[in-house]
Structure formats: C-alpha cells, structure tokens
Amino acid sequence: MKIRLLQIGKTHDAYIREGIAEFEKRLSAFTDFTTLTLPAIKEAASLNASQVKQKEAKLILEKIKPEEHLILLDENGKTHTSETFARQIESWQNQGLRSVTFMIGGAYGFAPEIYQRTNGKIALSSMTFSHQMVRLIFVEQLYRAYTIINKHPYHNPS
C-alpha cells in the first residue's frame, strides 16, 4: 500500500526536517511513503481564513486522485493509541487499499469541500501542535505503526 502525506507550506526548522528525513528513511523498509508539499498561499496575510481555506482546497483537490483514500489530520478526528492506529493501517492493507493519503491542512484547517471529499479524520492528540511539529509526530507514529504490525522492537508496550 502506498502512503502519501500532503502538507501545505515548507518545513522551516532544520531539526524537524532532519527528524522527518530519518523516519522517512526508516519507513522505506516497510512501505512506499512519499510526501508532497503544496505551496503556501502567498497573499494569505491579506485574506480572511475562509478565503485562505478555499485557495488551499483548490490546490489540494488538484492533487487528490478519485481512487485515493483521503484521511485528514484534524483536531476533531478520531483519536487512536499507537496500537489502534497500527491496526487501522493493517486493516486498510487487508482491504486491498492501494493508496492512502494523509493531509495536514493549513493554519485555518480545511474548507468544506475537503471535508466532503475525505474518507476519515484522525487526531494525533487532544493537545494542539504546530503544523510543523505535526509533520514529525505523524511520520514517527506511522513508522511506529509499521513496527507494531511487523513486530519490530521499536515499540515497547507497557
């Protein structure tokens, strides 16, 4: 199963980029994982939140294929433990899904048409993280899920 992470805007901090690169390298042993970074909206400072979300939605929808299973990383999504997230990934594999795309939205979240297109939403935590940190946390959790599925010792359950 191919897994893709879509995100808006570049990852600015070097330590976050380095962490993401490390987990992308590790993930290559388990799955075909790619990241696609969509450009940030240039005139965002002169637009209201709704306008920014609409412009981002246009960019997102251009990059999502009809057959892709789209999961939004959203504060109102379903929360998982690392183990239940691993079971969800495994379930998608067993269902024969060819492609799952996870999406990190911009600072204002997602436009209504993105919510209409989605196949589901997950929340990484009840806490709020910067969009930059979410990228690193997500790829680490994806790697952790694959280590759980493959009984790799990275994950040490209590």
Give dist(CA 118, CA 128) in Å, integer. Answer: 21
Is residue 155 included in any domain, yes or no? no
Give dist(CA 61, CA 103) in Å, integer. Answer: 11
Is residue 107 included in any domain, yes or no? yes
Is residue 154 included in any domain, yes or no? no
Is residue 97 included in any domain, yes or no? yes
* pLDDT for position 94: 96
Looking at per-residue confidence, does 34 or 155 come out higher? Answer: 34
* pLDDT for position 8: 94
Give dist(CA 76, CA 58) in Å, integer. Answer: 22
Is residue 157 included in any domain, yes or no? no
pLDDT for 44 beyond 90:
no
Q: Which residue has the tokens 């436009």?
A: 111
Is residue 74 included in any domain, yes or no? yes
Q: What is residue 75's three-state secondary structure?
A: strand
At 45, is the pLDDT very low, low, confident or very high (cuts 50, 70, 90)? confident
Asked whether the beta carbons of 7 and 59 are under 8 A apart, the reply is: no
Mean pLDDT, range 15-38, rounded to an integer:
96
pLDDT digits (tens, 9 = 90+) for 51-106: 999 999 999 999 999 889 999 999 999 999 999 999 999 999 999 999 999 999 98
Mean pLDDT, range 10-17, rounded to an integer:
94
Domain containing 40: what range?
Answer: 2-149
Residue partners of 99: CB distance under 8 A and separation at least 6: 1, 2, 3, 4, 65, 67, 68, 69
Asked whether the beta carbons of 136 and 17 are under 8 A apart, the reply is: no
Is residue 156 included in any domain, yes or no? no
Closest Cα partner for 37 from 120, 93, 103, 130? 103
CATH of the domain at 117: 3.40.1280.10
pLDDT digits (tens, 9 = 90+) for 94-150: 999 999 999 999 889 999 999 999 999 999 999 988 889 999 999 999 999 999 999
Give dist(CA 123, CA 101) in Å, integer. Answer: 15
Number of domains in the chain: 1
At 155, is the pLDDT very low, low, confident or very high (cuts 50, 70, 90)? confident
At 158, is the pLDDT very low, low, confident or very high (cuts 50, 70, 90)? low
Is residue 23 included in any domain, yes or no? yes
* pLDDT for position 24: 97
* pLDDT for position 33: 97
